[in-house]
Chains A and B, each alone.
Chain A
Amino acid sequence: MTAKQILAVDDSRTMRNMLKQTLGEAGYEVSLAEDGVDGVERLRDLTPDLVITDINMPRMDGFRFIEEVRGLGRLRGVPILVLTTESDQALRNRARAAGATGWIVKPFDDGNLISAIRKVTVG
């Protein structure tokens, strides 16, 4: 069985490193992108099983990025999790309006990260 692929988009290098390490240890294959533009670029030749994205990013933020992903026919059904802080209810609503599947509450730990992923991915 091949490992599930996750594209993680975050403009913070620390976050990317953490996601890569945590998800890698959980057995996922992780690709990274630095912002929405970079993420869309990565998705040209990548069909991940899950996308995780930050909201506040330069060039193209998470909302726009989610809309872009949903606009790609190939990835219309891919689960997309947004990284939000606990108090960001308004952000969650906006993300959902843009097409997000769910959210991961920051600061995340292995537990809430993996359980959020399990909620939206098959297998």
Chain B
Amino acid sequence: MSALLDGFFEECGELLESVFEGLSALEADGGDQEAVNAVFRAVHSIKGGAGAFGLEALVAFSHVLENALDAFRSGAAQIGSKEVQLLYEAGDHLSDLVERAARGQVSGGEMPDLHRALEGICGAVDQEEDAGLDFQPLTLDILPLEPEPAAGFDIVFRPHATLFENGHEPALMLRELGELGAIDVVADLSALPTLDAGLAKTPVLGWQIGLESDCHRAQIAEVFEFAEGLCDLEIIARDAEGLKVEDPVTQSDIDRPEVVERAPARETIRVDLARVDRLINIVGELVISEAMLRQAMTEIPVAKYGPIEAAMGQFRQLSGQLQESVLAIRAQPVKGLFQRMSRIVREAAREAGKEARLVTHGSATEVDRTVVERLVDPLTHMIRNAVDHGLEDSDRRQASGKASTGTVTLSAVHRSGRVVIELQDDGGGIDRERVRQIAIDKGLVGESDELSDAEIDNLLFRPGFSTRSEVSNLSGRGVGMDVVKSEIQALGGRVSIHSEFGVGTTVTISLPLTLAVMEGMVVETAGEILVVPTTALRETFKASNAPLHALGAGGHVLNRRDGLVPVFDLGSALGFRTAPGEYGDHSLLLVETEAGRRVAFAVDRIRDQREVVIKGLQQNYQEIPGVAAATILGDGRIALIVDADQLAEPAVRGGAELYGGAGYVQ
């Protein structure tokens, strides 16, 4: 039963997705009949399942919602923007109830106002509906029980053609009657045509049944429950006055339902995520061993363009394709994530007393499942921020000639092997003077610091920054944009903010498509091989050609057109060696952090740039400041993947010196 229940909640998630998908279609076009149908069906399915598991709160609410939707569906009630909003609220509440039920909370969380509002929709039409309803009371159901059990019954049963057309078998009914008591069946052959009259077109047989039983009439009626209206039936209690059962009206004048065509659903199978991850791991290993093989081949003489080389080329191509296909299994569209955000916008707007709507683009864009899951929190926070801090209230918006409802736009697009998610609001934009002043007050920047617009905007991501003097109920929930940023970075992503005063603010998140592989620059330093993620990398050059200036004791800066960039020795930052006093043959990697801070790392040699399979260290070892993960290179050696952002932070570099010379990584 528990597996069935789990399956139900899983299906509920999908059904709720359909609900919100339909609602956003209705938002665009209130007359979209197919959208109403789709929402109705989804709610109906939730109700059905909930009923099967006895989840009464869920049944009760989905029933009311279903009725309201039915009123819209039948055209008895009209859908306007107010109704769509109500349905959104209902959808949100339905999600809550599903969640509560999944947590095992059977009751609580009712919203009587919403209940009533929905009932208002169908209540307004109930009377008209009833009048037109093709409702035939079931005669057999309302028969009173016999005051005293009778000694027996005489039953006359004569099937109509429709009884047979509907797949009934009279013998089955006789059998069931026989279970009630001793029966005596006489076939009525009086209507049987004579041989020369040809074959009968209509049923000609009837039965007279004597039943010795002290059962109730209702029990006999139940035997013929399905046959009601498809036969002549008389049940006469013996030794008592019997009631003759009326001939029910045949149901021929009923409209055919409209068939709604829909694109066939894509065929899917359900696979345990752990199996997929195992597969991805194995393929990752395969890619590595392919690289090892390729490396080994460089050391043995192989005929150029020969069969071995050709086969190797094919192997490489296939393993690449295999990896891509396997990763695609974990990919899922951001649609569900975006739909959740639409609720956040509505709630945040309600709480802040503003008018706001969410517009989404590219919700079919696919990203790794884990990425999607881990985007929920940061995105929620950003959306709340956008509504709470970004959008102005209606009065202010109208005063500046904007629509009174603010728009938050969420879009996703694939761009050069990454997925870019953009969150845009058409609010007032960042008040840079205020941001700057707050940053100065909080000691994040100096009074005399010259800051570019971009640098000021990115101050929002600094820990301990909050622009509202009073902590607002909405965005001030103990997390700031700095947490958002670190969460995005933990996913291998970048986040940046761009704002135009009076016009709005755009936050851009760029994420890898998968967490399993990444593009990296393989470098050598202090006898170690390290990988620097190319996402942080801006430029590389030889130290001998670079305009380096000595600064203080052993320090260096790089003179760039747009300012001086500090130079650090990567090997010593990680504790492999003490920094060399001079950078002669070294290579320099210019790295830019998410905060816009630039640092040049000196390494002994740059090897090449390639895709590496990420192997987490946290599980196997522990978290190491300055090291993001590890990878296995083609020759089987393990290389650490550098966390350039962390290393560029003075605090971490200072900390790294604790390792100085200890050689904690051998």
Contact = CB atoms under 8 A, between A and B. Distances in A.
Interface of A: 11-15, 17-18, 21, 34, 37, 54, 56-61, 63-64, 70, 76-80, 85, 89-90, 93-94, 96-97, 99-103, 106-108, 118-122
Given A14-B4, A37-B264, A76-B165, 18 more contacts: A11-B41, A11-B45, A13-B7, A15-B52, A54-B48, A56-B44, A57-B41, A63-B257, A76-B167, A89-B137, A89-B138, A93-B136, A93-B251, A107-B51, A119-B173, A119-B226, A120-B172, A120-B226
Contacts of A15: 45, 48-49, 52
A34 B168 contact: no
Contact of A18 (B52, B226, B229, B265): B52
Contacts of B40: 56
Contact of A120 (B167, B230, B259): B167
A57 B261 CA distance: 11
A34 B38 CA distance: 15
A18 B50 CA distance: 12
Contacts of A70: 165
B251 A107 contact: no
Contacts of A99: 165-167
Interface of B: 4, 7-8, 11, 37-38, 40-41, 44-45, 48-49, 51-52, 54, 133-138, 164-169, 171-173, 176, 223, 225-226, 229-230, 250-252, 254, 256-257, 259-262, 264-265
Nearest to A21: B4
B52 A14 contact: yes
Contacts of A57: 41
Among B44, B137, B229, B252, chain A packs the most CB atoms within 10 A around the CB of B44
Contacts of A37: 264
Nearest to A80: B167
A106 B11 CA distance: 18
Given A18-B4, A64-B257, A90-B133, A106 B52 contact: yes
Nearest to B1: A21
A59 B259 contact: yes
Nearest 9 A/B pairs, CB to CB: A102-B226, A107-B51, A14-B49, A97-B251, A12-B45, A14-B8, A101-B167, A79-B167, A93-B251
A91 to B, nearest CB: 10
A58 B262 contact: yes
Contacts of B135: 89-90
A16 to B, nearest CB: 9
A112 to B, nearest CB: 11
B259 A64 contact: yes
Nearest to B249: A93
A108 B165 contact: no
Contacts of A107: 48, 51-52, 54
